[in-house]
Amino acid sequence: MNTTTLAPAARRSPVQVARLVLGLFKLRIGVLIMVTALVGLAVSPGAAPSLTQVVVLALSVLVASASVGAFNQYYECETDRLMARTRRRAFVTGDLPHTPAWLLLIAAMLAASVGTAWWLLNASAALYIFLGAFFYGVVYTV
């Protein structure tokens, strides 16, 4: 495990640090997954969802996807060093510290997205959001 300190990130501007953190979340992929979920919602039979339900679904899917994208980079840090495509990721370069605190943030993001979906949508939506994260995070990554 890389135990890099915060020194490299401390020398960066807040905008640069924000870009590094956002890069962990693989937002381009997350947006595509979110759009796919919204298309599925649009073509499903039944009553039209409220705007609040659409926004909650979109954000829950995006946050769950972001959390598992960050988990993927956290877990595969040592493997990422070996591949040209991934060797410039923030955990690999030490631009962000590879510490267990990230796991707490990742877990909180996933719990918040699944919990919000359960609370404001329904158990099925929450289950599918969790299963998507589980399969990418555990089945694929681990």
**pLDDT tens track for 74-119:** 999 999 999 999 999 999 999 999 999 999 999 999 999 999 999 9
111-138 mean pLDDT: 97
Per-residue HEC secondary structure of the chain comes to CCCCCCHHHHCCCHHHHHHHHHHHCCHHHHHHHHHHHHHHHHHCCCCCCCHHHHHHHHHHHHHHHHHHHHHHHHHCHHHHCCCCCCCCCHHHHCCCCCCCHHHHHHHHHHHHHHHHHHHHCCHHHHHHHHHHHHHHHHHHHC
pLDDT above 60 for 5: no
Residue 8: pLDDT band by 50, 70, 90 thresholds?
A: low
